Amino acid sequence: MGEQGAVGEHPPITSFVHHRARLTAGQQSAWERWWSVRGHEVPELLAGREPFDPPAWFGRTAPLVLEIGSGMGEATAQLAAEAPGTDHIAVEVFEPGLAQLLMRIAEAGLSNITVLRGDAVALLETCVAPGSLDGIRIFFPDPWPKRKHRKRRLVQPDVVALAASRLRIGGTLHMATDWADYAVQMRTVCDEEPSLEGGEIPRPDWRPLTKFEQRASSEGRSVHDLLYKRRAVGPSGSHST
């Protein structure tokens, strides 16, 4: 891997900042009630103290979608409710967001979401087997708009290559952003990744319209959806499909 998630003498550059944030009373009680049932700590999985084991977590083997940065869990919970036959792993570092998602899971009685706290890039690299995911979602990743912070953007060549390698052939990488130049970056990086094919698509009706997206639209920023599929690439980089 490149700088993101790499372990070296310097702290790795991450796509997130760890804010200590207070939980609301509802989030706190959801955390106390549900975290031990639905939550897992990424550092425990990375260290091998706990297995990354979706069939055990969900009690079945089903198509598996992983979301990087589920935020407050609005889209995550809605998409999981609409796809009961698919299992969803939401990875986030922001505790109030994880707690809010736990509340949504409990309210809707969803059994097809597992919530992980920690860095999704490290998780993909260390714990997720190649070719094992049906989909990866990255909705509205932090834009890091200042030029000096650009290297913190999640969607970069090494992370996209890693994500693509964890998808099965035909599995999808779906991204959305309200930052035009980030959409260009996503497209450039994914177009250059030989194991992916796709591009920008019209906004799919099935992607939930979150408060976050509504605010972007009301502030005049248009939203870009990008959908790529993993394709088979031969050892020389030639396409075998």
Ligand X SMILES: C[S@@+](CC[C@H](N)C(=O)[O-])C[C@H]1O[C@@H](n2cnc3c(N)ncnc32)[C@H](O)[C@@H]1O
Dihedral over alpha carbons 145, 148, 149, 150 (to 10 degrees): 70
212 near ligand X (CB under 6 A): yes
169 by DSSP, 3-state: which?
Answer: strand
The three-point CA angle 112-197-81 to 5° equals 15
Number of residues near ligand X (by CB under 6 A): 22
Candidates 20-28, 51-59, 140-148, 178-186: pick the segment binding ligand X (CB under 6 A).
Answer: 140-148
Q: Exactly one of 53, 87, 134, 142 is catalytic; name it.
A: 142
44 near ligand X (CB under 6 A): no
Instruction: Compare residues 54 and 69 and give the one whose CB is closer to ligand X.
Output: 69
Candidates 62-70, 98-106, 163-171, 227-235: pick the segment binding ligand X (CB under 6 A).
Answer: 62-70
27 near ligand X (CB under 6 A): no
Q: How far apart are CA 116 and CA 111, in angstroms?
A: 15
Candidates 68-76, 127-135, 182-190, 200-208: pick the segment binding ligand X (CB under 6 A).
Answer: 68-76
> Is residue 142 among the annotated active site residues?
yes
Judge residue 90's burial from the number of C-beta atoms within 10 Å of its C-beta, 0-12 exposed, 13-18 middle, 19 or more buried: buried
Site string for ligand X, 75-94 (x = CB under 6 A): x---------------xxxx
Amino acid at 190: C
179 near ligand X (CB under 6 A): no
Q: From edge to edge, which strands make up the β-sheet containing 224-230?
A: 39-41, 113-117, 87-92, 64-68, 133-139, 167-177, 224-230, 196-201
Judge residue 239's burial from the number of C-beta atoms within 10 Å of its C-beta, 0-12 exposed, 13-18 middle, 19 or more buried: exposed
* Binding residue for ligand X, selected from 141, 174, 190, 228, defined by CB under 6 A: 141
Q: How far apart are CA 98 and CA 117, in angstroms?
A: 8
* Binding residue for ligand X, selected from 27, 34, 45, 71, defined by CB under 6 A: 71
Enumerate binding residues for ligand X (CB under 6 A). 15-16, 68-71, 75, 91-94, 97, 119-121, 139-142, 154, 210, 212
Residues with catalytic function: 142
